[in-house]
Amino acid sequence: MTDRDTDHASHHHGFSDAFAEHLDREALLATDVTSGALDRAAAALDRPVRTALDLGAGTGPGTVALARRFPDAQVHSLDLSAELLDRLTSAAARAGVAGQVHPHPVDLDDDWTKLVPAGVDLVWASLSLHHVIDPALVLQRALSVLRPGGVLVVTEMSESIVLEPDDLGTGRPGLADRVTGGLAALGHPSTADWTVPLAKAGYVGAQRELTDLTVASDNTDGAAYLATQLSAWHNNLAQTLSSDDLIALKTAEREIRAGSSPVTQTTGRVVWIAVRPEVETRK
Ligand SMILES: C[S@@+](CC[C@H](N)C(=O)[O-])C[C@H]1O[C@@H](n2cnc3c(N)ncnc32)[C@H](O)[C@@H]1O
């Protein structure tokens, strides 16, 4: 899916079950990235986590991972969508962490700082910061609620996306490159580099780390995820690809769903771990 789909879904029509399931699957397939980011955050923290925030929490994979990793923490989960927060509440209950989780339906572009406790230990923003109108302001507000020594973790998609095989299993050479090229022209994967904005907002030690993430169609979740991607891209690229390529893309989607096509998508996740310094450094 592209950002356009996300914005469309969130701002105009509410979230479809299919979209929420896609978000869940995306998070499931990135479990290792999440646990690696939690390891790095835990290493950067000088005290146990009592309060954590999940900004743009969606269906709750970050919230649940935070609550599990830090059993003494209360996790405040902020999102524009009350529907997604309902799913988050159910996910927290299924994971046995409902008592630690506090959902807040809120627009991150408003001032949300009064809704959450002061002295936050850990702020988590996964695939959400690029959605807000003024990310610098959100970074500043997150800094203002963090305690000195508190840690911010930001995750985004990496810029590159590689699809294999070259014909996506359809016998049309170069189809994969034409799809990724068309998506790039539409600004997908949508991402941002937060290294400079983090320093400008007053964080220190903003370390950026890239992890590759490969999703393969040879397992149920990978196949369902990739088929949904291809279907959304078919719509996004309707004006870009030739009609033969569009037909081939539908064929690839069908074969992935049927379990008869060995397609992989390799992207990455970039994770920044940044700290609120003991002494203010904002430029
Ligand atoms: C791609 S999803 C990521 C969800 C979750 N963090 C994850 O990693 O699976 C982006 C989330 O940001 C939320 N979002 C976008 N703009 C927002 C805003 N202005 N205020 C609050 N939430 C917002 C959306 O509702 C959506 O749940």
Taking only the tens place, the pLDDT of each residue in 243-258 is 999 999 999 999 999 9
Task: Ligand 1 pocket test: pick from 28, 54, 111, 131 the residue with the most ligand atoms within 8 Å of its Cβ.
Answer: 131
| pLDDT score, position 12 | 37
Task: Ligand 1 pocket test: pick from 32, 38, 80 the residue with the most ligand atoms within 8 Å of its Cβ.
Answer: 80
pTM over 0.85: yes
Q: Tens digits of per-residue pLDDT, 73-90? A: 999 999 999 999 999 999
**Cα(37)–Cα(42) distance, rounded to whole angstroms?**
9
R_g of the chain, CA atoms, integer Å: 19
DSSP assigned state of 218: T
Residues 6 or more apart whose CB falls under 8 angstroms from that of 246 comprise 234, 237, 238
DSSP assigned state of 146: E
Task: Name which residue sits closest to atom 16 of ligand 1, judged by CA.
Answer: 131
Contact 79, 88 (CB under 8 A): yes
Domains and CATH numbers, the chain: 3-275 (3.40.50.150)
| pLDDT score, position 207 | 83
Q: What is the DSSP string of 79-142?
A: ES-HHHHHHHHHHHHHTT-GGGEEEEE--TTS--GGGS-SSEEEEEEES-GGGSS-HHHHHHHH
Task: Name which residue sits closest to atom 4 of ligand 1, judged by CA.
Answer: 58
Q: Which residues of the chain have pLDDT under 50?
A: 1-13
- Compute, in angstroms, the gap from residue 3 CA to the centroid of ligand 1: 11
Task: Ligand 1 pocket test: pick from 2, 79, 267 the residue with the most ligand atoms within 8 Å of its Cβ.
Answer: 79
b/e burial code for range 4-18 (CB count within 10 A of at least 16 → b):
ebbeebbeeeebeee
> Which tokens is 161 given?
């996306």
| pLDDT score, position 19 | 87
| pLDDT score, position 189 | 86
Give, in order, the Cα–Cα distances in Å from 175 to each of 134, 163, 266.
37, 9, 16
